[in-house]
Amino acid sequence: MLTPAGERVLAAATELFYREGLNAVGVAAVAETAGVTKKTLYACFGSKTELIVEYLRRRHDVWWAYLEERLAEADPPRALVVFDAYIDHPGLGSDRGCAFLNAAAELPAGHPGLDVIRRHKEAVRAKFAELLREDAPGAPDPERLAEQLFLLLEGAVAHTGIDGDAHRVTLAREIAEILMRDPREVGTR
């Protein structure tokens, strides 16, 4: 449980890290934006590395809670809701693409943030598989289809950072719908 100062630091880091990048933002900028001293920042997180790890964990937790909420209200095929959650999450911003892919591009090998990113990405892929098994129990290979949908989503979300909007995620959702119905239809429209 973070203190109020810790929450302000994490909120400031979340905004700055996503908008400007992990390496471009120093702890002084995070502390100033949060209205705390660097000493307070370090008291709450210990290091910039730990702040980055907590930023990634929080980003996962917030998005995952939103996804689960959307899934609880959805009708099959719920795998499409995963695409929707990337398109319309109300609080995280997505115009710079995937925060996890952006962070992975900046983090050195062995950084503990990479473990958070890997767990997040695996959770998304596993969620696709789970939803496909539940919503289409007779599907011939839900694991393979889950991998295809995951890669389709990842590529589209990566382009959100290039394009500045989610139109490719919308297109990827349309392709996913076709793949789930009949993979032979892809590319025929």
Q: Where are the alpha helices (DSSP H) in the chain?
A: 4-20, 27-34, 38-45, 48-73, 79-88, 99-106, 112-135, 142-163, 167-181
The 10 Å CB-count burial string (b at 16+, else e) for 30-65 is bbebbebeeebbbebbeebeebbbbbbebbbeebee
Residues 44 and 37 sit within 8 Å (Cβ to Cβ): no
pLDDT score recorded for residue 137 = 79
Mean pLDDT for 50-63 is 97
Least confident of 13-22, 101-110, 130-139: 130-139
> Tens of pLDDT along 117-132?
999 999 999 999 999 9
Residues 66 and 76 sit within 8 Å (Cβ to Cβ): no
> Tens of pLDDT along 18-55?
999 999 999 999 999 999 999 999 999 999 999 999 99
- What angle in degrees, to the nearest 10, is found between the helix axes of 48-73 and 27-34? 60
Q: How far apart are CA 174 and CA 122, in angstroms?
A: 23
Mean pLDDT for 57-71 is 96
Mean pLDDT for 54-62 is 96
Distances (CA, A) of 155 to 6, 108, 169: 34, 22, 9
Residues 160 and 169 sit within 8 Å (Cβ to Cβ): yes
pLDDT score recorded for residue 13 = 98
pLDDT band, very low/low/confident/very high, at 182 (cuts 50, 70, 90): confident
- Whether residue 187 has pLDDT greater than 60: no
Whether the link from the prior residue into 140 is cis, omega within 30° of 0, is no
pLDDT score recorded for residue 183 = 60
Q: How far apart are CA 41 and CA 151, in angstroms?
A: 37
Between 90 and 106, residue with greater pLDDT: 106
Q: What is the mean pLDDT of the chain?
A: 91
Classified as helix, coil or strand, 24 is: coil
Mean pLDDT for 72-98 is 85
pLDDT band, very low/low/confident/very high, at 95 (cuts 50, 70, 90): confident
